[in-house]
Every structure is written in structure tokens, then in C-alpha cells.
Structure 1
Amino acid sequence: MSISLPWYKRLRDTVLSGTVWALIRMLRAVSAERAAEAGAFWAKLIGPRTSVHQRALRNLRRAFPEKSEAEREAIARGMWDNMGRVAGEFVHLDHIWQFNMWEPAKSRIEVSGATQFIAMRTDGKPALIFTAHLANWELPAIAAAAQGLDSAVLFRPPDNDFLAGLLLNQRAKVMGNLVAASHVAVFELATVLDQGKHLGILVDQDRRGGPTVEFFGHPCTANPTIARLARLYECPVHGVRVIRLPGGRFRIACTPPLDLPRDASGKIDVDASMQAITSVVEGWVREHPAQWTWFYRRWREA
């Protein structure tokens, strides 16, 4: 904590850190399933009473004008349920991965598209992997590390130093190389691909100055990093998503390599590719809308 901060901000951060550590100790004392249930209970109790909930509803009206207000409210409340579960599961990241390919009934995790994961692990080539804030989006990176897939993850740390450090420490225990988004991150990302590793990137948030894409029929901007790297390295681009299942279980699904659009010179077209990737994400969200984070400012005017 920087001593240059005003006293009231230092007090705020001290209270925040004390509260968070107390919650972590409480949630670590119970199973991941019970921690997720507790997180869901409090998120559903508090979340709908916040202004963030109203932003989620505005986004849902934009995305699903054909649905009733009651249907959109149910999706928003389902979102809070999922977010609370993610929070409860966060303190159990070091043992949440339970996968047994020989006895699936004993696994917490189901895998769809396993041949794609195997191919990535054995082909000796770099690959780009996009995902979205669906279900528990921490799991793809955990899965890659657990299954021996040499990988790195681009992430955007929170502005709060305490929370940023907490996230980094928890993730570093169970994930591959972590690359914080910054103006110099592109050099680290290039090194990852030069070494033949696999790079995971979340692609479902707004990026000022990025290419304009259509998402649920409305224009917004996208982060073009993954398409630019695909154009530069000509490596496969896969989509990986997580689906939350009943009973504290998950399905991780991997797409085959996308056939991305190309320009007149034969190179991958960055803007058109971001539209293709965004359309894949939209399909995922439409399938399980309550498992996506609707409070993001995906459309800046929302």
C-alpha cells in the first residue's frame, strides 16, 4: 500500500483488506460447494439492490428486446447467483480442478472437444485461445496448467493494489504464466508465442479505439489483440468456454480452430476476425445468458 495515498484512502484499503481476508478464511474453512452456495446467497441478496443491477437490466433490454421484463430480471438474478459462486470458488482455486477421464461420474469437470485440447498439447505449435466471462472463467487456465499445456494468460488487474495482488497470488498457484495487461504486454505475449506456447485471452469487454463489431445487433468496440497476433503468427485460434452445471460441476468446451476471414493479400483480416470471434461469444451467451456478466459496459452508452 502506497504511503503517498491520502489517509482516507489508506483507511479504506486497510478496512477492505481486513474484510476480504476474514471472508477468505471463512470460505476456506468449508468445501468449494458450500463456499459457492454462500457466495450465491449473498450476491443474490445484495446485487439486485445496487445500481450495477440496473446497468445489467439496461444491457439485457438491449440484447433481448423480445423478452419480458420478468424474464430479463430472472437472467440478471441468475447472473448474481453465478457471480457469487465464482467468488466462493475463488478461494478454492488450488483444488477446484477435479477431472477423471476414466471415471467421469467422479469428476467435477466434463470436457467437450477433448481432441482439440490433445492436439494443442502434442502438435508443438503455438495457439491462441479466446474465452469470455461465462460461468467460472478461471477454469480454462487452470485446466491448461493441470493437463500440462504450456500456456500463458493475459489478464487485466483491478485498479486497487490489494485486490490486484490477491488475484495474482491466487491465480499464480494454479495457472501458467500470467501476463498483466499494459502498454508493454505485447512484447511478453510475442515471447510466449515465439516459444511455441499457448496464449489465453478474454475477449468480451469493450476496448476504446478497437475495431467496431456487432454484439447482439448493436455496435461496440473489441480488443483486437488476439486477431493481431493471429495475423502476425498465423497460428490456430480456438474458442474455449465454461458452462456451469448442477451440483457444483462444469463443462469445458473447446472449438476446432476458427477459419478466420482474410483480406485481399491473404493475411488474416483483424476487424473481420474480431467480428467472427465476437459472434462466437454471442452464441455462447445466448445459450446460457444467466452465466454471463451483464453489468459490463459492453456498449458504452448503456
Structure 2
Amino acid sequence: MPTVDKLSATRPSWRHWVQDRFAAALLTMLRPLPYDRRIRTIGWLGANLIGPIAGMRARIRTNLEYVMPGLPESEVAHLCRQVPGNMARTMAEIFTGAEFLERARASTIEGTGMPILQAAHRDGRPVLLVTAHLGNYDAARGYLLAQGFNVAGFYMPMTNPAFNTRYVAAISRIGTPVFARGREGLTHMLRFLRRGGMVGMVVDHYMEHGELVDFMGKPARTALSAAELALKYNALLVPVYGIRNPDGVSFRVRIEDPVPHSDPQTMTAALNQSLEALVRTHMDQWMWSHRRWKNT
């Protein structure tokens, strides 16, 4: 059973309640549509309705001006539409469960890390699968679960407790166990890891007490915890991504070679470099609306 952070048990505000009910109503209203059309419709709504209402375009512009000040206005405008669209698609996919898993399981594989994961699974060696808000971060977990790997999810609870409860249920339908960031969730996650499990972690959050590590040419507060855990438990630290294909509904799962063990700062810098290379290649698939560089 998933470990649910205390945040999900708190009483939601009226704003949180409205946001949660709107998301539920939208997903319910579009459910009769065929899967591909449904995901594309929600992507269009994210790009043209939800993104502007939620103020995402202003945050996307601010981030792009900070790290890419010379980017042409046409490209900035394009990203202001496409980034919220990808985010809306991702949420819709996660909430569809079985239909999304069908696409995830059919993903093509790229990168050179798959044989290493297979060996770790066979030998019972712990693995930290490090990913980011690029494409759909749960596509890789869905694919690896379908291949028989013992993969858990480690997630950061959302600030909306009403939606968080719904979200935890959705990611649990993709696969269990899932553990919430926090004392209780961390305890269960470490027990799972020590037994030779694989744990998926999304590591491109801004972390207030993180170290300043370069990302996209600018210092960004970044948690060193994934690298620290890899060193402490002799776990492989493997960058893994679910990259959205041009059709908008299928994926490529990229599994890279493990980051060599050295020290947490160096290993975390390597993780940021891995993600940066993909962000520059797939600019419209990364969550540019996130305040990644604040208070640096």
C-alpha cells in the first residue's frame, strides 16, 4: 500500500477543492473520447486555456529570459503554449491508468543502460532511477514494471491535499509501492531500496536547502540526496526518462549508463548535465513553469 504524506490528510481550502473538482470534472467529461483524441484534446486545453488561466506563461517567459535571453520571440511564444500542453497531457495520462500503461509498455528503448539494469535486477543490487519533469516521468516506470523490474515510486506530495489524494491513487494504479517524501515515506523507501529494489525519483525540483549546482548555465538549488543515497547503499544511480514522441501519445524510454560513484556534488552535477542535454533537445517537454532558479 502507498505511504501517504500527512499533507493529503489535511483539510483542503475552498480554492484547493475547486481546483480538484475542476480537474475531476474535465477528466470525466472527456472520458468517452477515444484515448488518443482525449489526450490531444486535454493537451490543447492545457496549451490554450489552463496554461494562461494558471499564469504559467509568465513564469515560462521569466525562466527562458533568465537562462536563454537570446531566444527568438516566436520560440518563446511556442514554448508558452506547448509546455502547459505537455503538462496537461501528462496528468491526463497518469489518471487514465490502464490505457496509459498500454502506451508505456509499448515504448521503444534508447540509451545504453538497459543491460545494466537487467544485471542489477538479477543480482539484487539497489538502483535509484533518477528522472525529471520531462515528457511523462511515469512512462519509464510503467515500462520497467511491465518488464518485471521491482520498481517503486518516490514522490513529492502536491500542495493541494484534495488533488494529492487523487494523484496518489492514480500513480498507485500504475504500480506500487509508492512512497511520499517525508519521514515515514523515506523510512519505507529505504527499507525497499536496501532489499535490492529500484526506486524512481524526480529530482529537478527547486530545493530550498539544496546545494547550488549548475543547470542550464545557471546555479540552481538542487538536492544531493539521490547521490548521497547511492553512495550510502552502494546503489546504481541511473538517469531514466520517458520522452514523448511527435505523435503526442507514445514514448521512448531512455536509460543511460549509471553515474560513476565519486562525491555527491560531482554526481549531482552529472545528473543535471544529463537532464540539460535532453531539455535542450526537447525544449517543449520540460516543465519551464517551475520556479527552478528562485532565490539563488
TM-score range, shorter chain: 0.7 to 0.9
The correspondence for 1:21, drawn from 24, 49, 63, is 24
- What's the CA shift string for 1:181-206, capped at 9, x where partnerless? 11343322321121110111111111
CA RMSD of aligned residues (A): 2.5
Structure 2 partner of 1:38: 41
Dislocated runs of 4+, deviation >6 Å: 1-4
2:108 is matched by which residue type in structure 1? E
- What's the CA shift string for 1:125-175, capped at 9, x where partnerless? 111110010111121222222221112111011122211110111111122
CA contact (8 A) 2:8 2:162 kept: no
1:288 is matched by which residue type in structure 2? H
CA contact (8 A) 2:244 2:251 kept: yes
Counterparts of 1:250 and 1:62 in 2: how far apart (Å)?
30
CA contact (8 A) 1:27 1:91 kept: no
Q: How does 1:121-136 map to 2 (within 5 A)?
A: 121-136=121-136
Counterparts of 1:278 and 1:136 in 2: how far apart (Å)?
18
Q: Which piece of structure 1 moves more, 175-184 or 193-202?
A: 175-184
CA contact (8 A) 1:98 1:109 kept: no
Counterparts of 2:184 and 2:208 in 1: how far apart (Å)?
18
Q: TM-score, normalised by structure 2?
A: 0.88
Aligned length: 286
Structure 1 partner of 2:108: 110
1:213 is matched by which residue type in structure 2? V
Q: 1:121 to 1:98 in 2, by over 3 A?
A: farther
Counterparts of 1:110 and 1:129 in 2: how far apart (Å)?
18
Higher relative CO (Cα under 8 Å, sequence separation at least 6) belongs to 2
Q: 1:246 to 1:299 in 2, by over 3 A?
A: same
Structure 1 partner of 2:223: 223
Deviation at 1:177, TM superposition (A): 1.1
CA contact (8 A) 1:243 1:251 kept: yes
Q: How does 1:101-250 map to 2 (within 5 A)?
A: 108-113=106-111, 114-247=114-247, 248-250=249-251
Counterparts of 2:193 and 2:275 in 1: how far apart (Å)?
23
Local SS of the residue matching 2:244? strand
Counterparts of 1:258 and 1:41 in 2: how far apart (Å)?
37
CA contact (8 A) 1:35 1:85 kept: no
Q: 1:14 to 1:56 in 2, by over 3 A?
A: closer
Q: Which piece of structure 1 moves more, 11-20 or 51-60?
A: 11-20
Counterparts of 2:22 and 2:131 in 1: how far apart (Å)?
31
The correspondence for 2:291, drawn from 274, 297, 302, is 297
Q: TM-score, normalised by structure 1?
A: 0.86
Local SS of the residue matching 2:56? helix
Structure 2 partner of 1:282: 276
Q: 1:54 to 1:16 in 2, by over 3 A?
A: closer
- Structure ranking higher in helix proportion: 2
CA contact (8 A) 2:17 2:162 kept: no
Counterparts of 1:82 and 1:171 in 2: how far apart (Å)?
18
Matched, 1:95 2:87: no
Structure 1 partner of 2:3: none
